[in-house]
Amino acid sequence: MSTSEPSSAADVPWQHIFDQATAAMAIIDLQGRYLHVNDALCRMLGYRQDQLRGLDYREITHPDDVDPDGPTESAQPLEKRYIRSDGAVIWALVARTYIRGDDGEPLFHLSQIQDITQRRETELLWQRSFANAPIGMALVDLKGGWTAVNDTLCEMLGYSRDELLSMAFGDVTYEDDEEQGTNALDDLIAGLVDSVNIEKRYRHKKGHPIWVLIRATAVPGADGRPAFVVSQYEDIGERRLVDAHLAHLALHDPLTGLANRALLADRLEQGLYQIARGDGTLAVVLADLDQLKPTNDRYGHATGDQLLIAAAGELRKAVRAGDTVARLGGDEFVVVSVVADAEAAQSLCDRVEGHLNTEVFLDGEPFALQASVGHTATADPAATQESLLHEADRNMYRHKRFRRQDRH
């Protein structure tokens, strides 16, 4: 081995290690002048070594970040800005350590500098995007607590930032909607999904509900496991009102507000499913108004429409909550109900008939509401919707014929 080659790392001159280090470093005297700088620092700041040596580091420090008391040893690295030779400003993370003599007194500072401009720009972009987003945004910990919220979310919910940061999302969630939010967070934490979209109700500070679309994404930590959640909140109350209105129009008769044929078919299918589980008997009651055409001919269609609306109101009075009342069109109405047995189905038919054969007032004038009513009942889940409506219709026409015979 050549005698010029070092036998260990201890034999390598410190200047070689210092100069060839990939990390930017400098030795500064106690007054703040550069005594020695390495090439990595020169590349970072855009200066030659001879331009930096003897220069006070404060001369290339951003004016807002100058420490007037001079360099000191710090337990934690500090973030500051430097001005490069071309005038560009960079952010740096600076760690300073004293180099001490044998007596322990400080002789110089060793500064290690890391360019963090890209990281700071990314952080600033995130902070501004978060703070100024037109939708609510929040950081959520793995227990559902808000750890950061923007102004939009505060305004949406009516709480101050301090109030929200002392709460978890469950504190403002309606009880019926709490489970889906908790399940979504559990799925994110478990890594089953990377993001979720849910619609739920939050309670405004003043007490009223707010429908919110929430998009939540898990952010992994150093170990690759979810560390926290980024959530976005969009107030969709108006959209839900529009959607609910459109859905209502699609499934309800526009004149009476009763179910239309599409919704009736769905409710019949649900009824057959219920009786397949042994829940009872499916009753289908069909009614036909006897006086609609004469009313239209004598008083006009506007009065006929009022008669239909009055009939719909009487039908609602005759049924239980959860029963379906539908208008097939024209002067035909249908009631669908799951009842205990055939006797209960007959009782329902009798109630409907009683309410549709009564006196109603249209524009303050009394009108005789008259209808023929029939029904069918089944406990057979294999029955079809068509057969049930057909049997109820046949039963109704038998009653209609009897009524005519009685009048004659």
pLDDT tens for each residue of 255-274: 999 999 988 998 899 899 88
Tokens representing 238 are: 């108006």
CA distance 237 to 170: 19
User: Average pLDDT for residues 86-98, to the nearest whole number?
Assistant: 93
CB atoms within 10 A of CB 369: 20
Q: How far is the CA of 213 from the CAs of 139, 181, 205, 258, in angstroms?
A: 16, 11, 18, 30
Q: Do domains 10-116 and 133-240 have the same CATH topology?
A: yes
Tokens representing 208 are: 């009223």
- CATH fold for domain 253-407: Alpha-Beta Plaits (3.30.70)
Q: How far is the CA of 43 from the CAs of 46, 60, 315, 333, in angstroms?
A: 5, 14, 86, 86
User: Average pLDDT for residues 304-333, to the nearest whole number?
Assistant: 90
Domains in the chain: boundaries:
10-116, 133-240, 253-407
- Which contiguous run of DSSP H or E holds residue 155? helix 151-157
Name the band, by pLDDT with cuts 50, 70 and 90, for residue 2.
Answer: very low
Model's pTM, two decimal places? 0.53
| Mean per-residue pLDDT over the chain, rounded | 88
Please list, in sequence order, all residues whose beta carbon lies within 8 angstroms of the beta carbon of residue 224, skipping any fewer than 6 positions away.
Answer: none
Within 13 Å and on the Cβ side, how many CA atoms surround 66? 12
Statement: residue 37 has pLDDT above 90 = yes
Closest CA to 120 of 96, 90, 76: 90
Q: What share of the chain is helix, strand, coil (3-state, %, to 5)?
A: 40, 30, 25
Instruction: Enumerate the active-site residues.
Output: 331
The CATH classification number of 133-240 equals: 3.30.450.20
User: Average pLDDT for residues 344-373, to the nearest whole number?
Assistant: 90
User: Average pLDDT for residues 182-188, to the nearest whole number?
Assistant: 91
Name the band, by pLDDT with cuts 50, 70 and 90, for residue 161.
Answer: very high
User: Average pLDDT for residues 310-331, to the nearest whole number?
Assistant: 90
pLDDT tens for each residue of 324-348: 999 988 889 999 999 999 999 999 9
CATH H-level superfamily of 10-116: PAS domain (3.30.450.20)
